[in-house]
């Protein structure tokens, strides 16, 4: 796995780190109302829902990325971390110069959790 070290040793942190390392992923998307995430003691990993039967990842992709290819790359990256089905949902497409991985759009004032505020 490449990129920044995860904030903790939880599986959700490892999944998030794998996802944001994929080219074309702008950021993990927390959902329209910030409802998508894994809750950990004192914090939340937005855009990643780790369940017993599958792992769900919600992302925003950049306009210069091929959506299907990016989703497939995310699925492969997450499968290297978890041994269960991976569902990738593309929630938004944002300009390539938008704030990148690590941003939490659920904290944005934009409707629908769109492009994060600068």
How far is residue 49's CA from residue 66's CA, in Å, rounded to a whole number? 24
pLDDT for residue 101: 54
The per-residue pLDDT for 6 is 45
Instruction: List all residues 6 or more positions away from 106 whose beta carbon is below 8 Å from its beta carbon.
Output: 29, 30, 31, 33, 34, 37, 46, 113
Residue for token pair 């091929």: 66
Total count of residues recorded for the chain: 118
Q: Which residue has the tokens 């990148």?
A: 100
Mean pLDDT by 10 residues, the chain (118 residues): 52 97 97 92 94 96 97 98 97 84 44 38
Residue 81, pLDDT score: 96
Prediction pTM value: 0.77
Alpha-carbon distance values, 8 to 39, 62, 116 (Å): 13, 27, 24
């Amino acid at each position: 796995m490449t990129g920044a070290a995860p904030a903790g040793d939880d599986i959700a942190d490892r999944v998030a780190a794998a996802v944001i390392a994929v080219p074309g992923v702008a950021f993990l998307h927390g959902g329209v109302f910030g409802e998508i995430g894994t809750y950990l003691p004192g914090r939340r990993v937005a855009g990643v829902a780790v369940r017993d039967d599958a792992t769900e990842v919600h992302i925003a992709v950049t306009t210069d990325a091929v959506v299907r290819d990016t989703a497939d790359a995310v699925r492969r990256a997450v499968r290297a971390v978890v041994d269960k089905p991976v569902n990738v949902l593309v929630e938004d497409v944002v300009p390539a110069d938008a704030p990148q991985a690590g941003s939490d759009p659920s904290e944005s004032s934009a409707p629908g959790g769109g492009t994060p505020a600068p």
